[in-house]
Structure 1
Amino acid sequence: MSLGLTALELARIQFAFTVSFHIIFPATSIGLACFLAVLEWKWLRTQDPIYKDLFKYWIKIFAVAFGMGVVSGVVMSYQFGTNWSEFSRIAGSITGPLLTYEVLSAFFLEAGFLGIMLFGWGRVSPKAHFFATLMVAIGTCISMFWILSSNSWMQTPQGFAIENGIIVPTDWWAIVFNPSFPYRFAHMATAAFLVSSLLVVGTAGWHLLKGRRDTLVKKSFSMGLWMVLITSCLQVVIGDHHGLNTLKHQPAKLAAIEGHWETNRDHAMPLLLFAIPDMQNERNAVEFGIPHLGSLILTHSMDGQVTGLKDFAAEDRPNVPIVFWSFRVMVSLGMLMVLLSLIALWLRKQGSLYESSWFHKFAIIMGPTGYVTLLAGWVTTEVGRQPWVVYGVMRTRDGLSHSVTADQVGLSLLIFVLVYTVVFGSGIYYMLKLIKTGPAFLDSLAPEETAGLGHFKTPLRPLSAVDEMIDDETSTTDQNKEKHHD
């Protein structure tokens, strides 16, 4: 089962596999929870039923994403005991409490109000329901706060001492608000909003391309594009500051990101657009860049100095090709997001935002790029940290469980791949079918489907909030093609 790989390599692959599946669902639920809060606030403020109908549609996708996020998150925690018990023993006095705070302050808040949010229409007052929605949205952000604090501490550890080989906390304020945390938290929060807004835009773009021109689709498309404009431009600014922070606290990672081997002591550093890093010969086999721009971006000076990879011992360098290219995937797609939103502004001015089929195709293509960008960013972050599990303090190999074997990890990895493919593949298929169905006007539904004006059907289980027959190709939204046109 080991396929010639060591237990360490397989354990890293297993954690990368499970966390990659996991991160897409919390990112979706974080962004959608805030989107739902905005929709309900707009409905309370204007009493326009369009916002209520959109809320009822997107809460179904939120419920599926939230459920899969919880399940996939539980699986990851077990690996700290099975594959990474030494990491838990040595650093658990810091990472353990941070994850506990996430459960106590965020998960309980979400769980306490989630039922009201999903099933409270007509059963509590509108303001009470909005409060529940707001609490769930805040809870998702608090959860992100603690998770990012824990991960950021592993990137830029502060506020600790080592006693008898064990990392012990000495300053919790310094631990929680470690040097990279503010930038990483802002970067991840903005990424989550980008993921969800692109999902909204892609969904609306699909239905516009199929001929729908009702206000539900137009409103979704418009709101999503405004959010993409704000968050994509904001991400450029946050990314710049995050890069400066990485240059200061994780210079080896930054050098790998830039494919920068020699410290530029007497000349400006170029910005490499393309390169083939050769780790064995400590150079780039092929490279193409823009002179001086690397120094300008990274140091805000035309001739700023950036430490090269050769100034670090070979065993302290990350995998340069992976970090170099994952970063460029992230940045390239981010620039396309900015382009998408700027084109949308121009089309708004021209009055053809909802009639430009070529732009709708572009929006559909961009819909899933938020997830690709998110994963590329995390690959850059986590592979760039190697060979450290706690940067500069504890190597990844030292966190591996002593008793675990390659065959054991390989077998569990195979089981994870099979189970995840079935379970989460089905969940993703379910979400895609809901997206294909699209939002519907309340008065276009049959009476038994509405259960009375403003009500959901009474559920027995949380995922009963998703009440679509997803394998029924006859969508209720098809009825909307002939009515509710502007």
Structure 2
Amino acid sequence: MFDWDALMLARIQFAFTVSFHIIFPSITIGLASFLAVLEGCYLKTRKPVYKQLYLFWSKIFAVNFGMGVVSGLVMAFQFGTNWSGFSEFAGSITGPLLTYEVMTAFFLEAGFLGVMLFGWNKVGPRLHFFATCMVALGTLMSTFWILASNSWMQTPQGYIIENGVVVPTDWLAVIFNPSFPYRLAHMAIAAFITSALLVVGTGAWHALKGRRDAAVNKMLSMGLGLLIVLVPLQVVVGDMHGLNTLQHQPAKIAAIEGHFKNEGDEPTPLILFGLPNMAAEETQYKVEIPALGSLILTHSLDKQVPALTEFAKEDRPNSTIVFWSFRIMAGLGMLMLLLALWGNVLRRGQRWGHKPLFLRFAVLMGPSGLLAVLAGWFTTEVGRQPWVVYGVQRTVDAVSGHGALPMTISLAVFIVIYCSVFGVGTYYLLHMLKKGPDDGLPPETTDMIAASGHVAVARDTHSQH
């Protein structure tokens, strides 16, 4: 396939499967906590709108959770089939970390998921709320262990190498490696932002269709309220993560910036746009701002950022890919900030119903969190190359000894199956989102909302909910 060797095909296959997988945890991590907040608000206020939204979004959560589990299992098997060199070399680290994730997070989620989804009228309200909180905690614990494993591959410590394999010597150092706190915070916040954008986008869709009830307004209000807090916080965390990456993976930063050469003692400019050319060792047609790169990445105007040509050619990440994946992520982040600011200006008095331009923008931004997460993972993983364990094991030494033909066949099979199975699942999710919250309501809840006047007042007048 396009003269790719087994290594390239294995990398593409893993990138393809992990890209499908990360979509679903990015939604479930945030939605689980959103469901806990909704149920807590319902128990405190007894306002039916919170139960209405809980019943609706719990269905979305369930479908995402199921597809996330299935796609995650496929990824785990690939460590043995396609990356046996990595498993043999570093399995003593990654194996236990993934086992901890299963024994704590997954068992916690699976143990309480049934109560959360099917126990609303079968167990007491406190027990049901406890189950929802445990599922939310399980998703966060899963994030903790997965990021611990991946972060160790980025900034490994707490180990020695004996007889050609990694042997852990300090598990606290392994888990709390230098990049772990920043990457954990960055991913967790990204997941909450992704869910908030999905909630806002869904509310905006129904508002454009003429709905003005409490459920639609509550989705918009709660989602935009979360975005105005988390998006600026993500900018701060991203800056801290960038400083940490500059310290431990300077070649990745140079590739992200498209920065090939330093000029004398001049501070490093920030290249806004351009076309990085790895062969020519320069970013062509670039648009740059003098000294801003040094200011952002070193917080000074007299320090230079390491240039890509300062590293051996065999140690350089592909700047062409990460240069643009990072800018996609950052550009979407700026649009998210615009959405949060604009929406919270309209939030007072819930004036978004009379602003179709804002609502269309919110709908378009609905999936932007997922795109930003994918772009971010492409940046961090491609930027780690040519290492699978940074500075310790090269990717070429981690791949299994398969030929190109079986890798081509398996990749083609994965593409067909994933696009078919997850395509149907995604279509079903979109169908549920399009139908809206009322579809999940039992008759008694509908009667309660109608009796309380929420629906009638909200749809016939300018609702105050």
TM over 0.5, shorter chain: yes
Query: Who is 1:397 aligned against?
Result: 396
Deviation sequence 1:426-450 (CA, Å, 0-9, x none): 010000000100111877x657xx8
Alpha-carbon distance in structure 2 between the residues aligned to 1:451 and 1:420: 38
Question: For residues 307 and 325 of structure 1, what CA distance do their matches in structure 2 show?
Answer: 19
CA distance in 2, matches of 1:234, 1:482: 35
User: Secondary structure of the equivalent of 1:112?
Assistant: helix
Where does residue 235 of structure 1 map in the other structure? 234
- Any residues of structure 2 matched to 1:105-116 within 5 Å, and which? 105-116=104-115
**Aligned match of 2:425:** 427
Number of residue-to-residue matches in the alignment: 458
Contact kept, 8 Å, 2:257 with 2:270, in 1: the verdict is yes
Letter paired with 2:39? E
Query: Which SS does the other structure have where 2:287 is aligned?
Result: strand
> Per-residue deviation at 1:483?
6.7
Separation in structure 1 between the aligned mates of residue 326 and residue 127 of structure 2, nearest angstrom: 44
Residue of structure 1 equivalent to 2:149: 150
Shift of 1:187: 0.2
- The match for 2:405 among 404, 407, 420 is 407
1:458 paired residue number: none
Deviation at 1:60, TM superposition (A): 0.5
Change in CA separation of 1:327 and 1:400 when aligned onto 2, cut-off 3 Å: same
Cα distance 1:226–1:451, how it changes in 2: closer, same or farther (>3 A)? Answer: closer
Quote the Cα distance in structure 2 between the aligned partners of 1:398 and 1:107.
31
1: distance between equivalents of 2:13 and 2:390?
21
Q: Is the 8 A contact 1:264 1:307 kept in 2?
A: no
Shift of 1:286: 1.5
Q: Identify the residue that residue 452 of structure 2 maps to in structure 1.
A: none
Paired residue for 2:252?
A: 253
Give the CA deviation at 1:264: 5.3
- Between the aligned partners of 1:45 and 1:304, the Cα distance in structure 2 is 54
Distance in 2 (CA, whole Å) between partners of 1:273 and 1:34 is: 36
Quote the Cα distance in structure 2 between the aligned partners of 1:81 and 1:343.
48
Find the aligned partners of 2:232 and 2:65 in 1 and give their Cα distance: 27
Q: Does 1:297 align with 2:303?
A: no
Distance in 1, matches of 2:448 and 2:173, equals 52
Tell me the CA shift for residue 346 of structure 1. Answer: 1.9
> SS of 1:354's equivalent?
helix
RMSD across aligned positions (CA): 2.0
C-alpha distance in structure 2 between counterparts of 1:350 and 1:36, whole Å: 25
Deviation at 1:315, TM superposition (A): 0.7
Letter in 2 for 1:426: V
Residue 307 of structure 2: aligned partner:
308
Is 1:340 equivalent to 2:339 in the alignment?
yes
1:287 and 2:310 aligned: no
1:348-359 pair list within 5 angstroms: 348-349=347-348, 352-359=351-358
What per-residue deviation string (whole Å, max 9, x for no partner) do you get for residues 295-322 of structure 1? 1110010122211001100110011110
- Report the equivalent of 1:124: 123
**Structure 1 residue ranges (4+ consecutive) displaced by more than 6 angstroms after TM superposition:** 450-454, 478-481
The alpha-carbon deviation at position 290 of structure 1 amounts to 1.2
- 1:348 shift after superposition: 2.8
What is the CA–CA distance in structure 1 between the aligned matches of 2:256 and 2:248, rounded to whole Å? 14
Q: Which amino acid aligns with 1:333?
A: L
The runs of 5 or more residues in structure 2 that have no matched partner are 450-454
Are the counterparts in 2 of residues 259 and 320 from structure 1 also a CA contact under 8 Å? yes
How far off is 1:124 after superposition? 0.7
SS in 1 for 2:361: helix
Aligned counterparts of 1:64 and 1:349: Cα–Cα separation in 2: 34
Please give the per-residue CA displacement for 1:359-386, whole angstroms capped at 9, x wherever unaligned: 0000001001111101000000000000
Q: Does 1:77 align with 2:85?
A: no
Matching residue of 1:184: 183
Displacement of 1:263 = 3.4
Structure-2 change in CA distance of 1:214 and 1:440 (3 Å): same
Secondary structure, in 3 states, of the residue corresponding to 2:383? Answer: helix
Aligned to 1:89: 88
Letter in 1 for 2:419: T
Tell me the TM-score normalized by structure 1.
0.91
TM-score relative to the length of structure 2: 0.95
- Are the equivalent residues in 2 in contact too, given 1:214–1:485 (CA < 8 A)? no
Aligned in 2, Cα 1:280/1:480: closer, same or farther, shift over 3 Å?
farther
Alignment of 1:314-463 (within 5 A): 314-349=313-348, 352-402=351-401, 404-440=402-438
Provide the secondary structure at the position in 1 that maps to 2:3.
coil
Do the aligned partners of 1:292 and 1:302 also contact (CA within 8 Å) in 2? Answer: yes
Distance 1:483 1:421 in 2: 43
Q: Distance in 1 between matches of 2:267 and 2:349?
A: 43
Distance change in 2, residues 1:289/1:329 (3 Å): same
- Which whole-Å deviations, capped at 9, do the CAs of 1:16-66 have from their partners, x for residues lacking one? 000000000011000100000000010111111110110000000000000
Instruction: After TM superposition, give the deviation of residue 281 of structure 1 in Å.
Output: 1.3
Answering whether residue 209 of structure 2 is matched by residue 215 of structure 1, we say no
Percent identical pairs in the alignment equals 61
Question: Are the structure 2 counterparts of residues 39 and 451 from structure 1 closer, same or farther at C-alpha, using a change threshold of 3 Å?
Answer: closer
Q: Distance in 1 between matches of 2:235 and 2:343?
A: 18
In structure 1, how many angstroms separate the alpha carbons of the residues matched to 2:30 and 2:199?
Answer: 10
Aligned residues of 2:56 and 2:440 also touching (Cα < 8 A) = no
For residues 73 and 248 of structure 2, what CA distance do their matches in structure 1 show?
31
Structure 1: give runs of 5+ residues left out of the alignment.
455-477
Q: Which amino acid aligns with 1:43?
A: Y
Aligned position for 1:459: none
Q: Which amino acid aligns with 1:44?
A: L
SS of the residue corresponding to residue 160 of structure 2 reads strand
Distance 1:224 1:272 in 2: 33
The Cα offsets for residues 50-105 of structure 1, whole Å up to 9 and x where unpaired, read as: 10110000000000000000000000111111110111001100000000000001
Aligned to 1:33: 32
